[in-house]
Amino acid sequence: MAIHNEIGEKGELLAADYLRKKNYKIVATNWRYQHKEIDIIAYDGNILVIVEVKLRSSNYFGDPSESVTKKKQRLLVKAADAYVDSLDEEPEVRFDVISITTSDGEFDIEHIDDAFIA
């Protein structure tokens, strides 16, 4: 496995643990629809939360959340629509970003609720 994939996987595990500690119910990770992927799908109460996780080793090139471009947002919305279509219900949906930076083995996690509107 490529090193960037291992780093991404570590970030997603950290983010899922972080969300569980906040009493989110994780229902899927790395959910794929065509060529689109949702890192984490969870419920915060009755709200379906689509989570994009970004991890960087520093903020040198900006905050990791800044890499969630408009194009990435459109892909997430399309994947979320496909996921919701697979459900028996139509829950309220929210898009969050979890930004993680690491330095000297320490991880700084920032959770941005409602990071963008579909």
Q: How far is CA 63 from its chain centroid?
A: 15
Tokens of 113: 């609720």
Residue 103 or 33, more confident: 33
- Distance CA(37)–CA(83), nearest Å, equals 11
Q: Compute the Cα dihedral for 5, 58, 107, 50 and give only its sign.
A: negative
Residue 92 identity (one-letter amino acid): E
Can you give the pLDDT at residue 3? Answer: 45
Q: Does 118 score more than 90 pLDDT?
A: no
**pLDDT at position 4 over 80:** no
Average pLDDT, stretch 80-84? 97
Domains and CATH numbers, the chain: 3-116 (3.40.1350.10)
Coil, strand or helix at 34: coil
Backbone angles phi, psi at 38, to 5 degrees: -105, 125
Look at residue 13 in the predicted model and tell me its pLDDT.
94
Torsion of CA 107, 45, 112, 58, to 10 degrees: 20
